[in-house]
Amino acid sequence: MRGRIDSPYLPTLELEQAELSLKRGSIAGIDEAGRGPWAGPVVAAAVILDMKNLPVGVADSKALDTEAREFAYASIRKASRIGIGIADVGRIDRDNILNATMWAMAAALRALDVKPRLALVDGNRLPPVSCEARAIVGGDAKCLSIAAASIIAKVTRDRLMVELAEVYPGYGFERHKGYGTPQHREALSRLGPTDIHRRSFRPVQLALGLVEEDAP
Global pTM? Answer: 0.90
What domains lie within the chain, and their CATH numbers?
14-166 (3.30.420.10)
Indicate the burial class of 172 (C-beta count within 10 angstroms; 0-12, 13-18, 19 or more).
Answer: middle
Model pLDDT, residue 216: 53
Model pLDDT, residue 87: 98
Model pLDDT, residue 214: 65
HSE of 10 in the Cβ direction (CA atoms, 13 Å)?
10
HSE of 184 in the Cβ direction (CA atoms, 13 Å)?
19
pLDDT per residue as tens, the chain (216 positions): 455 445 445 788 888 887 777 777 899 999 999 999 999 999 999 999 998 999 888 887 888 889 999 999 999 999 899 999 999 999 999 999 999 999 999 999 999 999 999 999 999 999 999 999 999 999 999 999 999 999 999 999 999 999 999 999 999 999 999 999 999 999 999 999 999 999 999 999 988 888 877 655
CA dist list (Å): 47 to 44, 55, 121, 155, 207:
10, 11, 11, 14, 38
Q: What's the CA gap between 185 and 161, in Å, rounded?
A: 17
CB contact set of 15 (below 8 Å; sequence gap of 6+): 120, 136, 142, 143, 145
Indicate the burial class of 180 (C-beta count within 10 angstroms; 0-12, 13-18, 19 or more).
Answer: middle
